[in-house]
Amino acid sequence: MEKIIRQAVDRALAELHIEDAPEYVIEKPRDPAHGDLATNVAFLLARTLKKKPALIAGEIAGALKLESAPVERVEVAPNGFINFRISPRWNIELLARVQKEGERYGLSDCLAGKKIVVEFVSSNPTGPLTVGHGRQAVLGDCISSLLEALGAKVCREYYYNDAGNQMNMLGRSLRARYARLFDPAFSFPENGYQGEYLIEIAQAFAAEHGERFRPGSAAEEPGPETMKIFREYAAEKIRRMIDADLKLFKINFDVWSMESRLYSEGKVEELLALLEKRGISYRKDGAVWLAASRFGDSEDRVIVKSSGEPTYFLPDLAYHLVKFERSFDVAINIHGADHHGYAPRMQAGMRALGYPEGWLRYVIHQMVSFIENGEQVRMSTRAGRFVTLADLCREVGVDVARYFFVMRKADSHLVFDLDLARKQSNENPVYYCQYVHARICSLTPTAVEAGFWDGERGRWKEYTPGALTQPEETELIAHLVEFPSLVRTAGEALEPHHIPYYLEELAKKFHSWYQHHRIVVAGEKELSLDRLYLADCVRRVMANGLRLLGITAPEKM
């Protein structure tokens, strides 16, 4: 539609001998009273032509030839906008796509053929997922879904930092918990992992190994072999916990990458040699540094400590090179604001190695806080407040938790209102949307009873174009027609929060229509079938939208 109007405007400009036309916009005005589409072209020409925008607009409008296009009226606003009113027939034709495409309605192919890796959560295997991970988990999953909706082949990837100091600390913590089963006074390591889950793991360990690894005394240092056993036992158990949490949260990863494998496969060594060969790393104070400041970072960074151990950065950089070798067109990393300072460092590293600008994209989301009874809740194990993601899901349900985490723009802080989340009522936006789906599903028996079911399974008869003329109906149709472009906009911007807003608007328009007009009207078969057709379009779009968010569309509530 936009294209048709743009061509017409371009022709009109040529006819008026206006050359080097500026980049004007054709868009949907906020206020429906201003028509369906509008252009600002006259404003942009005002300067060069030294005429008032309104005058120019009048001339252009006069030269427009739109007879063949589905444009009902062209109006010139007093200030200079040119407004176009589209025939309702146009939207009705587009509406047919909802039924024709069904579950595929809203999808497009603008990223067809692209391979994209989305890395998110990547929580270290030192404990179960907390509510803090929830936002990132949903954000990553929904961004992935959106990219898939645009035709991309997406790899959801989780990176486990299962090497390094913290894993040793995890092993020590397990060992201490284990020792305490026999000697409650056994000392716990400073900065050890205090979570209760380690007590359970220690019990399981004891059940398997008995007292075999019981330390003789608190002072006894375990050998490397013993440490490895504790470390790997804990990591394995915790990985299973995390898997279960993610499954509960309905998130499926395609690939789990292990930091430890980067070492065992020599990737870290290779990278180190490469950096040295290219002269972008150097030795200083007994450590190896990356000359990151030459590539946009604020300072140089240590990649191998003077102790000889690599820092976290080095294997992570190696990991990204492996990603690139796996021939992804784009890599997207999702991180919390607490890691945002790390992004420039990684970008500098990629730049230093000559990888294409823009290949790696970061989505940084702000932190989440929880409120209850109007007060901020501090999550703590000791206070008995739920801290794990699994507990939150049990408390409010997976659909609600996912919806709340994704409904805000990543840039802004998210306030998770637990009271609202728990409410199973109209105030809760999740149910408001889901109710639309359930309500429409419940129409089927009524329609069958009235003898309006056409017998074809799962499908209502073709819509009679132009039959539905109530204002609520034309608005609803116009909104349904916008869904594909909304998905595209949200996907390209990596901003899934647009979807909940769209769905709430859809729900509002549907409920209003439903309240004011009967769908199934006794004795009026044609009208009823047309309305059932529209209702079913709403149902499909609602279901498709919720699916993008990983939220169920219930048939009954």
Window 450 to 489, contacts with RNA (CB under 7 A): 489
Contact 302, 311 (CB under 8 A): yes
Instruction: Give least dist CB 553 to RNA, A.
Output: 11
Instruction: Give least dist CB 527 to RNA, A.
Output: 11
Q: Two tokens at 435?
A: 């109710």
Task: With contacts defined by CB under 7 A, name the span among 24-32, 212-220, 227-235, 391-399 that binds RNA.
Answer: 24-32
> For RNA, which is the closer residue by CB, 256 or 501?
501
Task: With contacts defined by CB under 7 A, name the span among 138-146, 162-170, 236-244, 322-330 that binds RNA.
Answer: 162-170
Q: Two tokens at 549?
A: 């968010």
Task: With contacts defined by CB under 7 A, name the span among 197-205, 226-234, 382-390, 508-516 that binds RNA.
Answer: 508-516
> For RNA, which is the closer residue by CB, 328 or 509?
509
> For RNA, which is the closer residue by CB, 43 or 328?
43
Chain centroid to Cα 339, Å, comes to 18
> For RNA, which is the closer residue by CB, 153 or 511?
511
Q: Two tokens at 219?
A: 């002072």
Which residue type is seen at 333? N
CB crowding 163-188: b at 16 or more within 10 Å, else e: bbebbebbbbbbbbbbbeeeeeebeb
Instruction: Give CA–CA dist 174/125, Å, rounded.
Output: 13
44 binds RNA (CB under 7 A): yes
Instruction: Give CA–CA dist 44/440, Å, rounded.
Output: 47
Instruction: Give least dist CB 374 to RNA, A.
Output: 8
Instruction: Give CA–CA dist 499/396, Å, rounded.
Output: 21
364 binds RNA (CB under 7 A): yes
Contact 377, 421 (CB under 8 A): no
> For RNA, which is the closer residue by CB, 220 or 309?
309
- Residues in 289-348 that interact with RNA by CB under 7 A: 298, 301-302, 305-307, 309, 311-313, 337-342
Instruction: Give least dist CB 490 to RNA, A.
Output: 9
- Residues in 338-357 that interact with RNA by CB under 7 A: 338-342
Indicate which single residue of 197, 233, 403, 431 sits in contact with RNA (rule: CB under 7 A).
Answer: 431
- The number of helix segments (H) and strand segments (E) in the chain equals 21, 15
Q: Two tokens at 488?
A: 């595209």
Residues 379-418 as x/- pattern, contact with RNA by CB under 7 A: ----------------------------xxx-xxxxx-x-
Instruction: Give least dist CB 143 to RNA, A.
Output: 15
524 binds RNA (CB under 7 A): no
Task: With contacts defined by CB under 7 A, name the span among 22-30, 95-103, 213-221, 453-461 that binds RNA.
Answer: 22-30
Give SS3 for 519.
coil
- Residues in 82-141 that interact with RNA by CB under 7 A: 83, 124
Chain centroid to Cα 329, Å, comes to 19
Residues 233-272 as x/- pattern, contact with RNA by CB under 7 A: ----------------------------------------
E runs forming strands in 58-161: 71-76, 82-86, 115-119, 153-160
- Residues in 164-223 that interact with RNA by CB under 7 A: 164-166
448 binds RNA (CB under 7 A): no
Instruction: Give least dist CB 104 to RNA, A.
Output: 22
Beta-carbon contacts of 299 under 8 Å, excluding residues fewer than 6 positions away, are 292, 293
* Sign of the CA dihedral running 427, 431, 436, 439: negative
> For RNA, which is the closer residue by CB, 174 or 443?
443
Q: Two tokens at 124?
A: 């270290």
Contact 440, 539 (CB under 8 A): yes
3-state DSSP: the chain helix, strand, coil percent, rounded to 5? Answer: 50, 15, 35
Instruction: Give least dist CB 95 to RNA, A.
Output: 20
> For RNA, which is the closer residue by CB, 187 or 426?
426
* Sign of the CA dihedral running 345, 350, 352, 356: negative
Task: With contacts defined by CB under 7 A, name the span among 13-21, 27-35, 133-141, 249-257 that binds RNA.
Answer: 27-35
Instruction: Give CA–CA dist 338/7, Å, rounded.
Output: 49
Chain centroid to Cα 79, Å, comes to 40
